[in-house]
Amino acid sequence: MSLLQLNLDGVRNLQSVDMAPSPRINLINGVNGSGKTSLLEGIHILGMGRSFRARQLKNVIQADTPYMTLYGRLEGDPQVSLGVRRLRGSSELELRVKGDKNARLADLVEVMPLQLINPDAFRLLEGPPAGRREFLDWGVFHVKHRFLEIWKRTRRALKHRNAMLRHGRIDPRELGVWEQELATWGEQMDTLRRAWFADFLPVFEETLERLLPLPGLTLHYARGWDKKRSLADVLEASRATDQQMGFTQQGPQRADLRIKLNKQPAIEVLSRGQQKLVVSALKLAQGRLLESASQRHCIYLIDDLPAELDAHHRSQFCQLLEDMQCQVFITSVEPEALRQAWQAQTTISMFHMKHRSDGLSQLVPEG
């Protein structure tokens, strides 16, 4: 999946973008504040329906502009078009996928798998489990087709059970019904996550070995409840304490990926630089597994890479990307540092973010 055409209108400080990216490596340079991250942000919104740096999409809309429109055309036979529009005064995101106005967010996410590596990425290790769960579920969603349905049913059952626990109005029969639903779908969710993880682990280990060998580093999937008991048993046994707490304490909603070095939490023992490489290996492994499992490529958005890695690791990282044959959008304030990281035969399309006198920036291809 690569973007053949990208149009962004009304995004941050960007003058209308009309870009024909290369299916491989696109390098975007420009001074601080010129709009490089905004370009990646636009692609991210187009593929995920949300920004990676603004909680509210209205803040991404260009000042004094009533709306933003994002459009992309993906390679394929036939080519796939997708569009997103957000009006300043509305909280609704209008989506269109392959001409279908009733498209949902999951359709968007499905046609354009994206991975982001930016200076905040190391939070994947440091931050709460929700981020790692999202990472895990991204992988499962893209390779296991039943996952979305199972995930929705699990979430629905959990919502009902939690509402009953919270309000303390418990009709044992109704609680039993939702518990059974939760147990059934939650077990299925675990089965898919576990199957995905079994495929993911060797790919991750191999990727990390190429990027930064760290003997003693382990990655483990924790399903969110006792290993030895069924979810149905766990829910029944914890009913009383769940009621005291007002929510369901164990279940697939607590799943996590645990990363350790010699049995200690990786976050406590790895240097910041090592953490960044581990996160990079996780994210590159996602794309590599997607490729081998479904012959699809994901698009990589990489913000400020030279600032993150030393020259040696930067070229290891770039080489892994080159081997993957995927489309990459990568930003830099020092284009030379990044240019040198690639093998000589790799063609790199260069773009420059040029400040204009009206305060906006224009994306200009460089010959």
Ligand X SMILES: Nc1ncnc2c1ncn2[C@@H]1O[C@H](COP(=O)(O)OP(=O)(O)O)[C@@H](O)[C@H]1O
**SS3 call for 165:** helix
Q: Total residues contacting Mg ion (rule CB under 5 A)? A: 1
37 makes contact with Mg ion (CB under 5 A): yes
C-alpha–C-alpha distance, residues 150 and 327, integer Å: 31
In the bound complex, what is the minimum distance in angstroms from residue 91's beta carbon to ligand X? 17
The Cβ of residue 130 has, within 10 Å, a number of other Cβ atoms equal to: 10
Strands 114-117 and 299-302: parallel
Residues from 11 through 30 that contact ligand X (CB under 6 A): 12-13, 30
C-alpha–C-alpha distance, residues 98 and 105, integer Å: 13
For residue 32, say whether it is annotated as part of any ligand binding site. yes
In the bound complex, what is the minimum distance in angstroms from residue 6's beta carbon to ligand X? 15
Beta partners for residue 69, in sequence order:
9, 85
Q: Which is nearer to ligand X, 237 or 364 (CB)?
A: 364
In the bound complex, what is the minimum distance in angstroms from residue 46's beta carbon to ligand X? 16
Q: Which is nearer to ligand X, 31 or 311 (CB)?
A: 31
327 makes contact with ligand X (CB under 6 A): no
Residues from 232 through 261 that contact ligand X (CB under 6 A): none
What residues have CB less than 8 Å from 191, skipping those under 6 apart? none
For residue 333, say whether it is annotated as part of any ligand binding site. no
For residue 31, say whether it is annotated as part of any ligand binding site. yes
In the bound complex, what is the minimum distance in angstroms from residue 119's beta carbon to ligand X? 11
Chosen from Mg ion, ligand X, none, partner binding at 19 (C-beta under 5 to 8 Å by type): none
Chosen from Mg ion, ligand X, none, partner binding at 26 (C-beta under 5 to 8 Å by type): none
In the bound complex, what is the minimum distance in angstroms from residue 340's beta carbon to ligand X? 21
C-alpha–C-alpha distance, residues 131 and 52, integer Å: 12
The residue within the footprint of ligand X, chosen from 2, 25, 35, 115 (CB under 6 A), is 35
**Prior bond to 213 cis, omega within 30?**
no
For residue 69, say whether it is annotated as part of any ligand binding site. no
Which of 335, 222, 326 lies closest to 283 in space, CA to CA? 326
What residues have CB less than 8 Å from 262, skipping those under 6 apart? 216, 269
Residue type, 28: I
Q: Which residues bind Mg ion (CB under 5 A)?
A: 37
The contact set with ligand X (CB under 6 A) reads 12-13, 30, 32-38, 59, 61-63, 353
